[in-house]
Amino acid sequence: MLSRVAESLYWMSRYLERAEHTARLLDMNLNLCLDRTPASNEGRWRRMVALLHGPKLPDTPIDMYAITQALTFDPSNAASIVTCINAARENARQVREQCSSEMWEQLNQLFLDIKGTSIERIWEQEPWAFFRSVKDGSHLFQGITDSTMSHGQGWEFIEIGRSLERAGAVAALVDNHYSAFAERDPSWNEYLEWVGLLKGCTAFEAYCKVHTAELRPERIAEFLLLNAEFPHSVRYSVDKVKASLDAVAAVTDGRKAARVNRLAGRLTAALSYGQIDEIVEGGLHAYLDDIRRQFDQLHTAIQQTYIAYSIESALVA
């Protein structure tokens, strides 16, 4: 597979996952506002903006309308939903021949739906309906991709991009939330915040099936980080990255893939054998910092191995 094709499929998938994650967090935050006072909403919105690399906020009280506009429709914000959808569509357009017609139609429809609306229109009606359409559009694209695209190297790079983006987003969200609330005395407001974290990862019902509705910070962290069966857990996503990298390595030069597979294997082992009590005792923030550093190393290795490698290395191989 050409490196430019692998790169476009990889980034198409990452950008679409990023847009879906942003839509989910905005939807969750707007819903939680119904049960909270304006003062109690302040910290949560500021944390979300920092987490999503949004605009710098003034010290004055937050403006939910302005924040939602910046994270949804601002084309100058590299992390906004409209920017991510545009980037995903542009990457798909560059490798149109690799995508099925159904994939292109769905992504193009999502692009047109977002282009045809505005913050004024969704704010006057019901913002949750718009954000749900973004989430549903992303999920539909994933399902169409799995059903209509051959599961060869191109599909594997889509899986790698989506899973690596998801793992990094969930790890950052857990770190952000745990640092803010884990040491506080439990209260009704804090209970809602932990519900918000689980819903922000589409994990509330799945968590309750495993641990019932008793929301304990350590159990929530364990579920979102180390659960091997839940699609939005960090471990599950990393396992998918490792499986896809193994599949790509099987049809390429094994020596070329040695470093990237070694990094993926080390990351998989850290999550597979991790114990939440040991992680918390040693410091969850430090642990997640190390995990995110390994994500960055893995991303760089993927780029150097399959996308931006030198001509000399290719000739030697």
| Residue 114 confidence (pLDDT) | 93
| Residue 88 confidence (pLDDT) | 97
Whole-model pTM: value is: 0.92
| Residue 156 confidence (pLDDT) | 97
| Residue 37 confidence (pLDDT) | 64
| Residue 128: Cβ-neighbour burial (10 angstroms; 0-12, 13-18, 19+) | middle
Q: Rounded CA gap, 145 and 100, in Å?
A: 8
Q: Rounded CA gap, 284 and 174, in Å?
A: 9
pLDDT tens over the chain, length 317 residues:
678 999 999 999 999 999 999 999 999 988 887 766 666 678 888 888 888 887 787 777 788 899 999 999 999 999 899 999 999 999 999 999 999 999 999 999 999 999 999 999 998 878 889 999 999 999 999 999 999 999 999 999 999 999 999 999 999 999 998 888 766 555 545 778 888 899 999 999 999 999 987 888 899 999 999 999 999 999 999 999 999 999 999 988 767 788 999 999 999 999 999 999 999 999 999 999 999 999 999 999 999 999 876 554 444 44
Going from the C-alpha of 195 to that of each of 180, 199, 217, the distances in angstroms are 14, 6, 11
| Residue 212 confidence (pLDDT) | 83
Going from the C-alpha of 211 to that of each of 196, 208, 214, the distances in angstroms are 17, 5, 7
Is residue 283 left, alpha or beta, with left meaning phi > 0 and alpha meaning psi from -120 to 50? left
Count of beta carbons in the 10 Å neighbourhood of residue 286? 11
